[in-house]
Structure 1
Amino acid sequence: MQKPARKTLALTTATILLTAAALLSGGTSGAKAGEADAKNLLKAMSDYMASQKTMSFSYDTNLEVVTKDHQKLLLASSGKMEVNRPDKIRVTRSGGFANVELLFDGKTLTLLGKDANLYTQVDVPGTIDHLVDELRDKLHRPLPGADLLLPDVYGELMHGVTDIKDLGSGVIGGTECDHLAFRNKEVDWQIWIAQGDHPYPCRYVITAKDVDQAPQYSIQITDWKAGDDATADDYAFKNATSAQQVDIEKLGNVDELPTEFRVEGKK
């Protein structure tokens, strides 16, 4: 008697995804109440984040890249972020293509490429919020999860939202979280918020709907500390390795998307 063929992992996963899709496509009772609860949970997280003068956490990011022949590749990196509002931040990030450190002391931005032992400095006087804008719009080197550092996370994330779902509980890194999903014209995004008195974001996932194959970017936060528990540190750059100073254009790979994965110089 011929044995039945074993299901492959891909087939099993596809079955799970189809089942989940069928469940979510059905009508749900209390949708409006669910939307209100989701908004309240996101607003509570936003208020909590804005109220923290000092905070630190470790993070892991995943950035999907889609090739011309529709293959998805996942670029992974890890790091740590230390924040002292209103105008000090230190970020490290280590990935397959870069080992970098960013420091900002309210006046000067320093980017250090540790492997190449090169650094660059840019005058960016102002707050962390101003730095986030400068890094994104002028220097084209956005901070990981920068949306979550702004003073009004709720207002930023809710802009243009057309659909809201409260998906109940989930567990991220052993922490029970409220799982929320949102849609706007350009992206879908999900967020998992720690339950309890410290509603920090545990995971944040963005899906680009208008890009071929809908690639995702995610950041997962662990080792959360805030207030007196957060690490206080000196945010000024100390050139302990005698790194060579160069123009920012010559610094090389410091972005999450390295030059090896760009087409004609564009992301």
Structure 2
Amino acid sequence: MCRSAMSASSASRTASRAIPGVSRSAVASDPGRTAAAACVPSCGVTVMPSALPPVAWSACLLLAALAPAVHAATRVAPATPPASTPADSPERDPEALAALDRMGAALRALKQFSLTSQASTEVVLDDGQKVELDGVVTYKVKVPNQLFLELRSDRQLRQLFYDGKALSLYSPRLKYYAQVDGLSATLGELVDDAASRYGIDMPLADMFLWGTDRAPKTAIRGALHIGGGTLDGEAIEQYAFKQDGVDWQLWVSKATALPKKLVITSLDDPALPQYRAQLRWDTRTPVAATAFQFTPPADAARIKLVPVAVVIDAAGQEN
């Protein structure tokens, strides 16, 4: 199942599409400023409200980094297909579904890896025009509980560190960082917790869920084997899948069964915006433990990450 799709509401056809997840999260400079933090859903789109202190505003920009223009494909809850769809119907090619199983098994077998993704996102403007934004996503991972993520584009540079105990978000250009201590989550748990608790949607998060019961194939309404080909000099097989609100294509390496390319089309918007990512894997080069450790620079300021539930509660009290 692909839990990646354009999650922004079709009614909100603004640049906020490029930062899905921000509307579910907020930060504040201290625990007493949750009311100010409640305005974060508009961050990056409107002028900074005078009630929001500069530190909180910079924190807003920091958090927006983890749902930026380089990965407008964010995770959505799996949709349940009609019960009448038979598993062996022509619309659900067994070979295409088996390819997902092989890919999931290959991903779960990895003990450590580095991944670079060249990604492009189509952002739908108010007048329906689509604008393409490019960026690079870099992962360094050691299973079961260490991760480094960097999001880089012409507009943003953000980093996320997880050493198995603390989650750190850092903006090298803004010189702000946020940390959540006392964690013990696996990578799959971290992906879900970061999204549900803090509104942080990590790019390509499905790779931590494929091959587990958190990525059920029951959400898939259609599955096709398109055929073979070559990508970056490597033999691949191309597949196409359909879910409620989302069409997605997958190119899988014949040699490693790892995903090499992903294209996601949102059907919820008449403009049919797409997200594309081409993946380059390095499963051989050892990843140093220092890659997951974050030491704040002396000139960086710490900000507080406020859970989604706190912000929602504060916003409700304001209303």
Give the TM-score normalised by structure 2.
Answer: 0.63
Structure 2 residue 194 is matched with structure 1 residue 135 = yes
What are the superposed Cα offsets for residues 125-165 of structure 1, whole Å, 9 maximum, x if unpaired? Answer: 31111110122222222111001122526861623111111
Structure 2 residue 239 is matched with structure 1 residue 209 = no
Number of aligned residue pairs: 217
**Aligned residue number for residue 109 of structure 1:** 167
What are the superposed Cα offsets for residues 156-182 of structure 1, whole Å, 9 maximum, x if unpaired? Answer: 162311111101123333322110000
SS in 1 for 2:194: helix
Structure 2 residue 106 is matched with structure 1 residue 48 = yes
**Aligned residue number for residue 237 of structure 1:** 294
SS in 1 for 2:139: strand
| Correspondences of 1:125-164 after superposition (within 5 Å) | 125-150=184-209, 152=211, 156=215, 158-164=217-223
SS in 1 for 2:198: coil
Q: Distance in 1 between matches of 2:176 and 2:248?
A: 36
Uncovered stretches (5+) of structure 2, i.e. residues with no partner: 1-88, 307-319
How many percent of aligned residue pairs carry the same amino acid? 25
Pick 1 or 2: higher relative contact order, CA cutoff 8 A, min separation 6: 2
**Aligned residue number for residue 57 of structure 1:** 115
The answer on whether the counterparts of 2:157 and 2:173 sit within 8 Å (CA) in structure 1 is yes
**Aligned residue number for residue 81 of structure 1:** 139
Q: Distance in 2 between matches of 1:96 and 1:135?
A: 25
Q: Distance in 2 between matches of 1:157 and 1:68?
A: 35
Q: Distance in 2 between matches of 1:174 and 1:231?
A: 25
The answer on whether the counterparts of 1:46 and 1:154 sit within 8 Å (CA) in structure 2 is no
**Aligned residue number for residue 175 of structure 1:** 234
Q: Distance in 2 between matches of 1:203 and 1:157?
A: 21
Q: Distance in 1 between matches of 2:269 and 2:117?
A: 25
**What amino acid sits opposite 2:295 in the alignment?**
K
Q: Distance in 2 between matches of 1:219 and 1:157?
A: 22
The answer on whether the counterparts of 1:119 and 1:245 sit within 8 Å (CA) in structure 2 is yes
Q: What's the C-alpha RMSD, in Å, of the aligned pairs?
A: 2.3
Higher Cα radius of gyration: 1
Structure 2 residue 300 is matched with structure 1 residue 247 = no
Q: Distance in 2 between matches of 1:188 and 1:77?
A: 22
Uncovered stretches (5+) of structure 1, i.e. residues with no partner: 1-30, 250-267
The answer on whether the counterparts of 1:147 and 1:153 sit within 8 Å (CA) in structure 2 is no
Q: Distance in 2 between matches of 1:33 and 1:142?
A: 30
**Aligned residue number for residue 155 of structure 2:** 97
What are the superposed Cα offsets for residues 11-52 of structure 1, whole Å, 9 maximum, x if unpaired? Answer: xxxxxxxxxxxxxxxxxxxx8498122122221111010011
Give the TM-score normalised by structure 1.
Answer: 0.74
The answer on whether the counterparts of 2:142 and 2:287 sit within 8 Å (CA) in structure 1 is no
Q: Distance in 1 between matches of 2:130 and 2:91?
A: 37
Q: Distance in 1 between matches of 2:91 and 2:121?
A: 33
**Aligned residue number for residue 129 of structure 2:** 71
Runs of 4+ in 1 over 3 A off after TM superposition: 31-34
